[in-house]
Structure 1
Amino acid sequence: MKYKNIPSAIHNFGHSFLSYENYVDSDFVIDELNKISGKNYDIKIDWKTKKFQPKTMISDRITKSIGY
């Protein structure tokens, strides 16, 4: 992969995570993230370390999805 394509690949990966194809444990991950965001939390996901912020709002569904 060319270095100039890396930002595009990261962008597409993020969109895939937030898509309605990300269905884990009988529900969509995006719905759960929307609920967290609706409570005025900033959501941050570090894909390299697989860490999610805010830590108090992480669920098994989000953990599983990040782990895939």
Structure 2
Amino acid sequence: MCSLPCLHTKSGRIELIIGCMYASKTSTLLSFYHKYKALNKNLFAINFAADTRYGNGIISTHNHSS
């Protein structure tokens, strides 16, 4: 039996969505976000702070979906 406390607690995960420009990365991220929010799951999304093309604190696709 392992005595490490991290093995006996709930854990999360980090998923990276990578690809070239216009490869639907943000659309995929928003799809996951809305799905897990609908299931009342705790989550957060991280965006580059200097990406303020469509507003501060907003994750948005090139066609302005958020």
- Please tell me the TM-score bracket, short chain as reference: under 0.3
By percentage of residues, which structure has more helix? 1
By percentage of residues, which structure has more strand? 1
| The structure with more radius of gyration | 2
TM-score by length of 2: 0.27
